[in-house]
A and B are shown apart, each in its own frame.
Chain A
Amino acid sequence: MRESPGAASADAPAFESVERLRKRLGDYLGAAAGRPVSVTDVAKFPAGFSWITCAVSLSGFPDAEEAILRVGPPYGLFAPYSAMPEFESLSALAGGDVPAPRVYLASDDPAILGAPFFLSEKVEGDTPLPWGSQGQALEGARRDSLAADFIGALAALHRFDWRATPLAKWGEGVTLDNAAHRQIDDWEARFRRWTLRPHPMAHRALAWLRANAPAARRLSMVHGDYRLGNFLERDGRISAILDWELVHLGDPVEDLGWAFLPQYRGGTPLVCGLASEADFLARYEAQSGLSVDRASLRFYLVFSLLKLAFTHMAAARCFEDGLFNDMRMPAMATQIAPVFRQIGRTLEQAA
C-alpha cells in the first residue's frame, strides 16, 4: 500500500494490496461478528510515518459502517509493532473524560493482514498541524476552546484510574522511583538500534538525564506523543486525541515536557500554539490535582528533545535502509543538529 495500493505483488503482505486487504479484513470481521461482513472501500490517508491509517467502509459490521483501520507495517518508523498497547488503552478509556476513538477489534497475528492492526471509530474532525496551517496560527475563541479541551483532556488522562482497569497489568515493575529511568533505558535502546553514526551529544544528554532523573509524584497513563497535530478538531472543539502508539505508564510530567517542546508551538510562544506556559500549568495543576515540579518539567523537556532527536534518527535509519522513499524522512533527519543545539543550550541553562 506504500506506493500503489492496487498494484502490490502477489507475495506482498495483504495490507499492501487493497483487494486482498478488503477480502482478509472482511473475513476476519465476519468471523468476529458471526455474520458476513464486506469491506466496500479502503482509502489510505497520506499523513504519518509510522502506522498506516485508512478509512474503511463496511457492510454488515454491527458496530459501524465507516471505521478507521490502523496497520503497523514492518517498515514503519517505530517497527516492530504491537496493536495491543493502543487497543488496550483506548478500550480502558472508552466512555470516560478523555475524548478518544472507540476501538472495535485488534490483532497482532500477521496471518490476517500481514502486520498488527486495529479497527476503531471514525471520528469526524480535522488536524491542525504544528507548523501552522499554511503559516496561520490558532487564534481567538477557537484557540481558547481548543486550549481548554487540550489541557482538560491531558488532566483527565493523568487522573484516570488505570489500576481499576485491565491496564493494571502494565504496572508490574513500574514505580515512582524508576519511571524516568525506565523511559531513559527504553529510548536509549531505540537510539542504539537506529543511529547511523556516533552522536556524542546523545551520550552527553543521556548521562545528564541519568544524573538528574526525578521521582514521579504519581504514576499515570502517559500518552507519549501529546501535542498539536495529534488531535482532531471539529467546530472548535477537540473531538478525539489520536496516535496512542507510545502510550505507557509513567510520570505524567513526561507528557508536559513533550507538549512544551518549541517544535510544536506553531510559530508562537504558546504551548502547542494554544496557551502560555504559566496559564497551561495553572489550569493543568488545578484540573489534574498534581503540583508540577519545575525541575521535573525541565528534566522531561530535555528528555523530550532527546526523544525527538532519536525519532529523527529513526527516520534517517528507515530511509537509509531503503524501507521508505518518503522525502519527509531525510528532511526530518536534517533536524537532528538543531535539536542537539537546543539540548546543549538547555543543559547550559540548567548548570
Chain B
Amino acid sequence: MNNSLGRLIDGMVATLRKEVIPRVEGDYARGQAFGVVYMLNSLKLRASWSNAFLLDQLSALEDASRELKALAPDLPGAPLLDVHAPAALPDANALEAMRDAGDASLCNLIDWLGANRARLPEQAVARAETAIDTYLARQAKYEISTSARPMFVEMSGGAEKT
C-alpha cells in the first residue's frame, strides 16, 4: 500500500457518501451504508497498518543490511545500512490482554470495596475511589476522543443530516 490508511479511509467514505449512497434505494439500505461510513470514520481514529506487516519489512531490511555489510571490504566508502529489527514489536492483542487484565483487577477491587466498606477507614475508601474515578474519567475521555462523530440521524433516516 502506498497511501496512508487515513487517506484511504477518507477516500472510501467520500466515495460512499457522494457516489454510492445517493444511488442506493431504500431508507434502510442507505442507513446501513451510513453505518459503514460511521464505523470507517471510527476505524480511522484507531487503526494503523499492522505491526506484523511492518516487522516483516524490517526483518527483510535487516537481512539485506547484514548481507550488504559483508560486502564492505569490496565497497570502500559505501554508505551501508545498519538496520536491526526489534525482536518483537508490541502486539496489539497482547496490549489489549494487558489492559483487560488490569481492568479486571480494578473490577475486583471495586467489588471488594463495596463489600467491605463498612469496616474500612472512610478516608481510605474515599481516596481509593478518587483514584479509581480519575482512571475511569481518563479512560472514558480517551475512548470518546478516539471515536468518530455519531451519525445516528443519518443511519436512522437514510439521508445526510440537514
Identify the closest chain A residue to B101 (Cβ): A198
Q: Residue-by-residue, is A23-55 near B (CB-CB < 8 Å gives 1, otherwise 0)?
A: 000000000000000000000001100000000
Q: How far is the CA of A330 from the CA of B100 in the complex (A)?
A: 20
Q: Are A200 and B144 in contact (CB under 8 A)?
A: no
Q: With a 10 A CB-CB cut-off, give which of A201, A202, A211 has the most chain B CB atoms.
A: A201
- Number of residue pairs A-B, CB distance < 8 angstroms: 108
Q: Which of the candidate stretches A93-101, A102-110, A127-135, A239-247 sits at the interface with the other chain? A: A127-135
Of the candidates A134, A326, A337, the one whose C-beta lies within 8 Å of that of B162 is A134
Q: List 13 A-B contacts (CB under 8 A).
A: A134-B162, A197-B103, A198-B104, A199-B107, A200-B106, A200-B107, A200-B110, A200-B135, A204-B133, A211-B117, A326-B32, A331-B39, A337-B140
CB-CB < 8 A to B91: which residues of A? none
Instruction: Give the interface centre of A47, A134, A210 by most chain B CB atoms within 10 Å.
Output: A134
Question: Which of A133, A202, A340 has the largest number of chain B CB atoms within 10 A?
Answer: A340
- Check B136–A129 contact: CB distance below 8 A: no
Cβ–Cβ < 8 Å partners of B117 in chain A: 211
Q: Please give the residue numbers on chain A whose beta carbons come within 8 Å of chain B beta carbons, in ascending order.
A: 46-47, 129, 131-135, 197-204, 206-207, 210-211, 326-328, 330-331, 334-338, 340-341, 344, 347-348
Minimum Cβ distance to chain A for residue B124 (Å): 16
Report Cα–Cα, A327/B144, bound state, in Å: 19
Please state if A327 and B103 are interface contacts (CB–CB under 8 Å). no
The interface-forming segment of B3-11, B53-61, B71-79, B152-160 is B152-160
Interface residues as binary, B38-57 with A (CB distance below 8 Å gives 1, 0 otherwise) = 11001000000000000000
Q: State A340–B103 Cα separation when bound (angstroms).
A: 15
Annotate B122-136 by CB proximity to A: 1 below 8 A, 0 otherwise.
000000010011011
Task: Give complex CA distance A334, B39 in Å.
Answer: 9
A306 → B minimal CB distance (Å): 13
Q: Tell me if A's interface is mostly helix, strand, loop or mixed.
A: helix
In which size bucket is the chain B interface?
Answer: 35 or more
Q: Does B119 contact A (CB under 8 A)?
A: no
A257 to B125, CA, bound (A): 28
CB contact under 8 A between A334 and B136, given known A198-B104, A327-B36: no
A327 and B38 in contact, given A46-B27, A198-B104 (Cβ under 8 angstroms) = yes
Q: Are B144 and A337 in contact (CB under 8 A)?
A: yes
Chain A residues closer than 8 Å to B25, beta-carbon distance: none
Instruction: For B108, give the chain A residue with the smallest CB separation.
Output: A203
How far is B152's CA from A334's CA once the two chains are assembled, in angstroms? 11
B103 touches A334 (CB 8 A): no
Instruction: Mark B73-113 against chain A: 1 for CB-CB distance below 8 A, else 0.
Output: 00000000000000000000000000010011011001101
Do A131 and B27 form a contact, CB below 8 Å, given A327-B32, A334-B42? no
Say yes or no: A331-B110 contact (C-beta < 8 A), given A200-B103, A341-B141. no
